[in-house]
Structure 1
Amino acid sequence: MAKRFGAPACSRVFISSRSIALIRLGLQQLFKRCRRCLTVDTCWPRYLQELHKASAEKSDSVFVKSYRRPVFDRGVTVDEFCENLCMVYCSEGCNGLFLPAVDHLGTRIPVAQIVRTIREFGGEVRFVVVDAAQALGHIPLDDDCNVADFIVAGTHKWLGSYSTLGIGVAPQTTSSAAIGIGIQQALRNSLTDDGLLAFIEQLKGDANIQSETVNLCPLF
């Protein structure tokens, strides 16, 4: 499954009945490490709500950059876009990112180039969460997996997918173990109620929790 994302085969994979459950868990991990997160105004609205919820304990910890007008009205280049985002990121004191690989307007966000540009300018990037819901199976995600700590998508865009799945991949060896531990803690403390996620983590032997009756049809 990790290879479908363009991630190393050894990457940790998490499966849930809803991708929103994995987005929540990924954002919780982000704010454990980051004081402020940069995102863009074309993230899926529900995910933006979840971002603000996850940051509730840290005041003024989310900065939403509006880019629609510069891109669609003035036609800025990819390099200009990345440099502009980098300057905002550094000036606003951000050290984390939540970005869509492809936003709901169909725009490809150059996640890897954004991260590289920030680091080249001396900025700190502690944790990156990528929403790949509009991208998985449509465009290569290899570059995104090179920089993302947690990348989440679902099967709702797949032909004949029947019941949908949420899929999360942790491609970085430096953060994947911590993400796994965080998800296990969330399951044990009932911070997520996704029965399929709990069931699969229990099967893998990564969590010792009481689950519930689970619909396994999405797995097939």
Structure 2
Amino acid sequence: MKRQSFSADPDQFGFDSLLIEAETVNRQAALEKRFAHLPGTMDEALPVYRDIIKRHHAAMLAGNTETTLQLREEAHDLALRLNNGEPGILAGPDAPGCMLERLTVADNGIVPLWGQTGSFIIEVQGMNVRIDMDGIFGIGSQYSPWMNFSVHAVHWNKPFLSETGYRSFMGLQAQLAPGLTPDIFASQVIDAHVQKELKGRLKAIEPRYRKK
């Protein structure tokens, strides 16, 4: 008579649960090792992040791309540490990356350090424009050396870069140039855009976009 064989369900013995628990423990240990040098609370992290911004600003002014990108990676690791190693460091206003940026933003009207978010006004091509400068956690900042920024019209009844009173500049891949502060950089980018893309001709802002 042929014997009937049975395969035991590993979960009957709790093997699956043990494997999941072991995987969790191993993952946590790996995260602790990776982030051991970084603080785990926002109060402790803020001075560290401010120091990263200062060093990042110095690296940008020196035109040191390698150090600049390394410091951005360090800032992302800091936010990950605060988020227990989970993604979503920019998932909402209370996410670690968003909080770090918000708590270190430059005073309104003051040109920020490189890596610090801020809003300020410059004059370029006969226009007064407001610049909103991205910080270390801006889109693509781990790959593009220059910070993204957006430009807003100040005088809505005067010519501007677009018919909407708004223009963004993102993903600029030019090599870092030593000595450029955020305001000078923004001015040069806008000037080049007007000369090359707009052929020196600014555009009237359409009435439907004008602020009253």
TM-score above 0.5: no
The structure that has the greater radius of gyration is 2
Structure with bigger strand share is: 1
What TM-score do the two structures reach when normalised by structure 1? 0.24
The structure with higher relative contact order (CA 8 Å, sep 6+) is: 1
